[in-house]
Amino acid sequence: MRWSRRRRRAAALVLSGLSGAACTERPRTYSTSAETPRLIYEDDFSGDQLSRRWRPSGPGASLQDGHLQVEGLKNHPLWLEVNLPTDVSIEFDAWTSRDEGDIKFELAGDGQSYATTANYKPTGYVFVFGGWNNSRSVLARLDEHDPERITRTDRRVVPDKRYRMAISRRGANIVWMVDGAVHLRMRDGDPLTGDGHEHFAFGGWDSAVNFDNLRIVRLSPISEESQ
């Protein structure tokens, strides 16, 4: 059957509309793939106490009104004991009522380290939004004071504003997004992987910071050529 020009144009518009709906129905921070990302862990912190999957390395973490709150951790992270793959997406809500900001978390750590001196030495990647009295954001490898850390100083944490954080890591590439926009990114020539680099943690120093709606999924790896 031979379609008229009008029918062909109408069909093209229908297909275009279906394609656009598919793109906007479920926005994701990881790239689309034939393999569906697999859920590893999620937590809405709605219970009376922390799940047994969490390992505090010191006092300061508690559940408050259906969310997690950390305060005065002094770099004693709250570690998630679930082993994570290299290629992973982690999303959660974060906010604070304090002017000093200091929303902090870690990826690819050993699941147990904490500060034993004033100078904490992480075992993974450290993310700080509004650190140093809300003056800068940092993405660092093994040391948040490293001169080669990735830094930006043009965005501050707004008190009581709820942010959606998203970290995606595929091979050597780490992308940190805030409210759907890239905040910082890093390409690590010597990625932290394997034993001793399999855990995620919520961290902090003194400020009271809230977290909620954590969701972690495994991503399919990508080839070296496409990185």
Task: Decide if 24 is inside a domain.
Answer: no
What total of structural domains would you count in the chain?
1
Neighbour order of strands in the sheet with 199-202: 54-56, 78-80, 199-202, 103-109, 125-130, 136-141, 150-152
The pLDDT tens digits of the residues spanning 134-157 come to 999 999 999 999 999 999 999 999
Task: Decide if 70 is inside a domain.
Answer: yes
Task: Decide if 129 is inside a domain.
Answer: yes
Check residue 221 and give its pLDDT.
79
CA distance 220 to 126: 23
Query: In the predicted model, is pLDDT for residue 13 greater than 70?
Result: no
- Record the tokens describing residue 94, joined without a space: 């974060």
Task: Decide if 3 is inside a domain.
Answer: no
Task: Decide if 88 is inside a domain.
Answer: yes
Give the pTM: 0.82
The pLDDT tens digits of the residues spanning 38-64 come to 999 999 999 889 999 999 999 999 999
Task: Decide if 20 is inside a domain.
Answer: no
State which residues form the domain around 90: 30-226
DSSP 151: E
The CATH number of the domain holding residue 54 is 2.60.120.560
- CA torsion sign for 71, 120, 158, 179 is negative
The pLDDT tens digits of the residues spanning 76-113 come to 999 999 999 999 999 999 999 999 999 999 999 999 99
Check residue 31 and give its pLDDT.
40
Torsion of CA 84, 90, 93, 98, to 10 degrees: 70
Mean per-residue pLDDT for 59-76? 96
CA distance 102 to 83: 26
The answer to whether 83 and 199 are in contact (CB under 8 A) is yes
Check residue 3 and give its pLDDT.
45
> What's the whole-number average pLDDT of the chain?
86
